[in-house]
Amino acid sequence: QSANPTSPFWNRDQQTKYHVHDLPLFHAMGGNTVQEMELFIPPGLTPLERWLSITARPLRDAQGRLTGAVAVVRDISDAKRAELALRESEERYALAARGANDGLWDWDLRSNQVHFSPRWKAMLGFTEDELTTNPDEWFQRVHPDDIERLTTGLAAHQHRLDSHFEYEYRIQHRDGVYRWMLSRGLAVWDDMGRALRMAGSQTDITVRKQFEEQLLHAALHDSLTGLPNRALFLDRLGQVLNHTHRNPNYRFAVFFLDLDRFKVINDSLGHAVGDQLLITIANRLRECLRPGDTIARLGGDEFTVLLEGVHDAQAAHEIAERIQRTLAAPLHLGEQQVYTTTSIGILLGHSEYHTAAEIVRDADIAMYQAKMKGKARAVVFDPTMHIKVVSHLQMESELRTALEEGQLRVHYQPIVALDTGQIEGVEALVRWQHPQQGLLTPGSFLAVAEESGLIVPISWWVLREACQQLHIWQQEIPAAQALWVSVNLAPQQLAETDAVTTIRTILQESGLAPTCLKLEITEHTLVEYGEATAQAIAKLRQDGVQLCIDDFGTGYSSLSYLHLLPADVLKIDRSFISRMGERTDRTEIVHTIIALARALGMKAVAEGTETATQADELRRVACDFGQGWLFSKPVDAEALAKLVRTGHSLFTTPAPVMEPLAA
């Protein structure tokens, strides 16, 4: 018998002594006459923490009367504690398994029976009474792709090749849906090293797996557009490349796309619009390509497309054209209507490539060539392009040096009043005094300057230089008092937040009156930078700086912009002037442009006036100014100063009678 000393049968009155008044034990022995029994507990022990076992026997006299009892009291606290601890640990484990939602399995390997816990069954949608002890209840439900590794894993542990068994696999629920489970187990071996039994747990990890899949998806996709990212694209491309290595006749193509106006839109209309643009572009790409084609966003405005089964350049070009057409349609982003063209590098894949990265690099190179050739086009890669890229990169670094070490020059081309032949203004044009190649015109380095962004510091430098130079002339040459200078601005310049301040500072530092400065921006810039440009221009015009629309007629219909953004001078593109006289309708176009300029209160400049015939025609249609080789090529500052000093008329042919302009 054992009794808990804290029970009411025991009455503690001092630390080491207990009186037994009334114990069922003694009653049973008929010992109700026993008044008292003392228990001595060894000093130093806290009775409350002790478990005692008491065995008692009554003592009777010769007549059989109960006179007392002999009791043996054993301290069983240690054993009791161990038992409690065991029970607790079992309970704890059971609780943990239940709390963790784990199912348990116990596999008798000799009889090949598996006992599945109710929870194990419930995890697969079965009740306690369902499923037999056949191991197939388990293994036949495992996903065909996972079963082999699961059974190998189990066997490896049973044969002690693996110190533990732990495996994640899919198993089919009663509802037919596969769930992810994690199974862990441990085997017990006999002396001979044969596994006798193996038991373990099963945890449902479906949610974790789904989360992992989401993470994986996030790691392999672009969060903005949801398209595969560079890593996934390279992976897929690598697979196709492997396929090509096995089947050398297999063909594929990789397109490298870059939006021609993304930076402009992003800078001028803000990142929200830029993001919206990218999302729309991604959707359009999805729509115009087949579901099997892989479209990826590599970052920024760079997209790649992997097209399998594309055999030749012709087919690739057709697809590229389709993409370009689709992407070129105007986009309505909020209140803005924007559009962008796309440059595409095409790479026709073949088995001689070793890595996916090489393929993407070459497609990128082809795209770069497409940009260099004037954007909005598709160019097929050929190996000589590597050399071009290297030379472009070399030029970029040389150009940087040129800017830093003062190899750049400004040449000036007179702008002549057509009625008098007098120089009224000059256009500042950048030149590069290249240490080996001599004097270079922008045609040979502008593309690199634009692509690298160097065009911005270069153009600021030209502006500063031109303003200083004109101010010097105005002080030194009386005939230069009213001379003005026209300076080309790169599209990105006016989009700089402090563009207005920069220009004002340049004017102040050079001492040039703002009214003597005209800024030339192209129609493209006007359309592309719309808002940002308009605000800067409006401020500068208040200062007296004038605005020229350069290369007018070559861009998009920017008449609406002309209306929004008042300009002072319209420079008619050279292409119109050179074709004048060829056919009368060409002259008519020029005539019309001049009429338009007049109607909007602007002066007209005819760019690229090369012949006296052209000049005569221009004068006839009342064009205000001419600029071109007929009068003078762009010349250095010294030569220009000479031209101004002499004050000769640069256009002396007698003028025909001017016709009044048609209204």
Residues binding Mg ion (CB under 5 A): 488, 520, 550-551, 607
* CA proximity to 607, closest of 640, 642, 644, 570: 570
**Residue 634 binds which one of Mg ion, ligand C2E, none, with CB within 5 to 8 A depending on kind?**
ligand C2E
Site membership for ligand C2E, residue 273 (CB under 6 A) = no
Q: How far is the CB of 429 from Mg ion (least distance, A)?
A: 7
Contact 235, 357 (CB under 8 A): no
Interactions with ligand C2E, residue window 579-608 (CB under 6 A): 607-608
Stretch that binds ligand C2E, among 54-62, 193-201, 506-514, 621-629 (CB under 6 A): 621-629
Stretch that binds ligand C2E, among 246-254, 262-270, 294-302, 627-635 (CB under 6 A): 627-635
Smaller CB distance to ligand C2E: residue 553 or 628? Answer: 628
* CA proximity to 463, closest of 497, 431, 429: 429
- Residue from 142, 415, 490, 519 in contact with ligand C2E (CB under 6 A): 490
Q: How far is the CB of 460 from Mg ion (least distance, A)?
A: 16
Distance CA 202, CA 207 (A): 14
Smaller CB distance to ligand C2E: residue 71 or 489? Answer: 489
Site membership for ligand C2E, residue 469 (CB under 6 A) = no
For the chain, the first-to-last Cα distance in angstroms comes to 127
Distance CA 274, CA 295 (A): 19
Contact 303, 281 (CB under 8 A): yes
Site membership for ligand C2E, residue 413 (CB under 6 A) = yes
Q: How far is the CB of 450 from ligand C2E (least distance, A)?
A: 8
Site membership for ligand C2E, residue 442 (CB under 6 A) = yes
Binding mask 319-358 vs ligand C2E (x if CB under 6 A, - otherwise)? ----------------------------------------
**Residue 429 binds which one of ligand C2E, Mg ion, none, with CB within 5 to 8 A depending on kind?**
ligand C2E
- Residue from 222, 551, 617, 624 in contact with ligand C2E (CB under 6 A): 551
Is residue 347 classed as helix, strand or coil in its secondary structure?
strand
Smaller CB distance to ligand C2E: residue 150 or 462? Answer: 462
Phi, psi of 161 (to 5 degrees): -85, -20
Is residue 18 classed as helix, strand or coil in its secondary structure?
strand
DSSP 298-339: EETTEEEEEEET--SHHHHHHHHHHHHHHHHS-EEETTEEE-
**Residue 490 binds which one of Mg ion, ligand C2E, none, with CB within 5 to 8 A depending on kind?**
ligand C2E
**Residue 446 binds which one of ligand C2E, Mg ion, none, with CB within 5 to 8 A depending on kind?**
ligand C2E
DSSP 141-193: TB-HHHHHHHHHHHHHHHTTSSS-EEEEEEEE-TTS-EEEEEEEEEEEE-TTS
Is residue 622 classed as helix, strand or coil in its secondary structure?
coil
- Type of residue at 251: R
Smaller CB distance to ligand C2E: residue 141 or 518? Answer: 518
Distance CA 198, CA 189 (A): 9
Stretch that binds ligand C2E, among 94-102, 378-386, 484-492, 584-592 (CB under 6 A): 484-492
Stretch that binds ligand C2E, among 137-145, 161-169, 397-405, 435-443 (CB under 6 A): 435-443
Q: How far is the CB of 625 from ligand C2E (least distance, A)?
A: 12
Is residue 346 classed as helix, strand or coil in its secondary structure?
strand
Q: How far is the CB of 642 from ligand C2E (least distance, A)?
A: 19
- Would you give the DSSP letter of residue 560? H
- Residue from 123, 327, 462, 485 in contact with ligand C2E (CB under 6 A): 462
- Residue from 153, 200, 274, 634 in contact with ligand C2E (CB under 6 A): 634
- Residue from 363, 416, 455, 643 in contact with ligand C2E (CB under 6 A): 455
Site membership for ligand C2E, residue 446 (CB under 6 A) = yes
Q: How many CB atoms are located within 10 Å of the residue 390 CB?
A: 10
* CA proximity to 652, closest of 633, 630, 628, 634: 630
For residue 52, what are the β-bridge partners? 3, 75
Site membership for ligand C2E, residue 575 (CB under 6 A) = no
Q: How far is the CB of 413 from ligand C2E (least distance, A)?
A: 6
- Angle between the 230-246 and 356-372 helix axes, to the nearest 10 degrees? 110
Contact 627, 413 (CB under 8 A): yes
**Residue 443 binds which one of ligand C2E, Mg ion, none, with CB within 5 to 8 A depending on kind?**
ligand C2E
Q: Which residues touch 76 (CB under 8 Å, ≥6 apart)?
A: 2, 51, 52, 53
- Residue from 104, 430, 565, 615 in contact with ligand C2E (CB under 6 A): 430
Residue number with the smallest Cβ distance to ligand C2E: 628
Residues in the site for ligand C2E, rule: CB under 6 A?
413, 429-430, 441-443, 446, 455, 459, 462, 488-490, 520, 550-551, 574, 607-610, 627-629, 634
